[in-house]
Amino acid sequence: MEFINEKKSEYVNRALLDWFSANKRSLSFREEKDAYKILVSEIMAQQTRIETLLPYFDRFITRFPDVETLASAPEESVVKAWEGLGYYSRARNLHKAAKIIQSLDHFPSTYEELIALPGIGAYTAGAVMSIAYNQPYAAVDGNVLRVMSRVYASELDISKMSTRTLLKKEIEETIPESRGDYTESLMELGALICLPKNPKCMICPVKNWCLAHQKGLTDSIPVKGKKKKPKKVEQIVWIITDGESILLEKRPETGLLSSMNGFPITEKKTPLEAISGDSSCLLGKSQHVFSHIIWESEVRKIHTANLTPYTAYFKDLKISAVKISELEKLSIPTAFKKIIDLDSALKKEPLS
C-alpha cells in the first residue's frame, strides 16, 4: 500500500513550493520562524481556521510574548486570553508545557522533546520541527490529508489513524530541502485552493499531476468514514442569584469544558425550586454544539433571598457565589456566555 508516488512527488513538490513562494499569505508567526510563536499558532490551529485565529493569536502574543511570560502567568489569565477560541484544554496544556519548557535550559528543538510536552501530538510537533527548524518532519492535518488524497487519488479512509501514519511516513521520505516551506505550502493549498467543496482546480499549481482532478473524483475523494452523530443532551442550566451574587460552578478537571467556569446544570425536570420554596422563571432555550455532544438547555432563573440552601444542594460540585460585577473578569466559555445573553440583568455588566 502506498500513498505518494515517489517519481511524481518531485514535480508535485516543486510546483507546490513555487506556488507557495508567490502566493503565501503574510502571517506574522510564519515570517519570524520563532519556535514559541509557531508552537502557539499551531496549537490554536488544531481546531480553528487561520483567518479566525489571527486576532486571537495577536492578542495572546501581546499578552504573553515569550515562553517565560506565559509560564509565570496564572492559569486563569491564560484561559481568559484564550476566550472565544474554545477547546480550552489547549490553553491549559500550553500553559503546562510552558512551565516545563521554562524548567529546561533551552526551547525544545527535537521531535521527541516536543511530543513529550502536554497537548502536543504528532501534528504540532511535526509542524514546529519543519517550520521553525527546517527538519524533515511532516505535519498531517485535515488539509494535508485532503490535498494528498486527491493528488494521488487515494481511496484510503482519512479518518483512520493508519492512513495518517502512512501519509506522514511517506511525506517524510519524499520531503524536499525546504521543509518548512513545503509543510506550509501543503497547508496553504488546502486552505486556499483545494477546498473541501468546490476545489479551485483551474488555478491549482498541481492540477497537471492531480489524479482526482483528471478523473473527476474531487467530490468523492478524500474518503471519510461515517462520523457518529453528536448526542443530544437535554438539561436545565440554572441562574441562581440573590441580586448581588450568582452561583457559579468550577467544572470538573476532566470532561467537557473541564476546569472552566459555568452555571450549575441539572437534568430536565429537576425541581430545584422545592429546596427553598422560591419560584423559577424560564429565561429561554439555548443550544450549543460541541464536536460529539449537543447541549439543548432550558435556562431557568431563581431569584432568592438566600443562596445557602442551593450551595448545599450542589455540594458535590465546586460551587461558589460570585459577585455579578466580577463576572466580566472571569473566563466564561461561549456555551455559558449564551446563557448570560438570555438574562438582561446580567448583561447590564458588559462582558468582554
**Residues noted as catalytic:** 42
Alpha helices, DSSP H, located in 234-315: 308-313
Please give the residue ranges that form the binding site for ligand SF4 (CB under 6 A).
147, 150-151, 193-194, 199-201, 204, 206-207, 210, 212-213, 218
- CA dihedral 85→90→96→101, nearest 10 degrees, is -90
Residues pairing with 223 in the sheet = 157
Specify the residue, 175 or 189, whose C-beta has the smaller distance to ligand SF4. 189
Residue 211 CB, nearest approach to ligand SF4 (Å) = 8
| Listed residue (282, 292, 286, 266) closest to 337, CA to CA | 286
Residue 196 CB, nearest approach to ligand SF4 (Å) = 10
Specify the residue, 198 or 291, whose C-beta has the smaller distance to ligand SF4. 198
Specify the residue, 200 or 268, whose C-beta has the smaller distance to ligand SF4. 200
Residue 144 CB, nearest approach to ligand SF4 (Å) = 11
d(CA 240, CA 321): 9
Q: Which residue has the cell 425541581?
A: 271
Specify the residue, 124 or 218, whose C-beta has the smaller distance to ligand SF4. 218
Residue 324 CB, nearest approach to ligand SF4 (Å) = 52
Specify the residue, 121 or 196, whose C-beta has the smaller distance to ligand SF4. 196
Specify the residue, 221 or 332, whose C-beta has the smaller distance to ligand SF4. 221
Residue 160 CB, nearest approach to ligand SF4 (Å) = 21
Specify the residue, 150 or 179, whose C-beta has the smaller distance to ligand SF4. 150
SS3 of residue 334 by DSSP: helix
Residue 186 CB, nearest approach to ligand SF4 (Å) = 10
| Listed residue (30, 11, 3) closest to 180, CA to CA | 30
| Amino acid letter for position 156 | L
**CA–centroid distance for 87 within its chain:** 5
Cβ proximity of 158 and 224 under 8 Å: yes
CB atoms within 10 A of CB 58: 12
**CA–centroid distance for 142 within its chain:** 13
Q: Which residue has the cell 482519512?
A: 158
The sign of the CA dihedral 108, 113, 118, 123 is: positive
Cβ proximity of 114 and 108 under 8 Å: yes
| Listed residue (271, 274, 270, 295) closest to 285, CA to CA | 295
Rounded (5°) CA angle 37-39-44 = 95
Alpha helices, DSSP H, located in 24-49: 28-32, 35-45
Residue 219 CB, nearest approach to ligand SF4 (Å) = 10
Cβ proximity of 125 and 115 under 8 Å: yes
Cβ proximity of 343 and 301 under 8 Å: yes
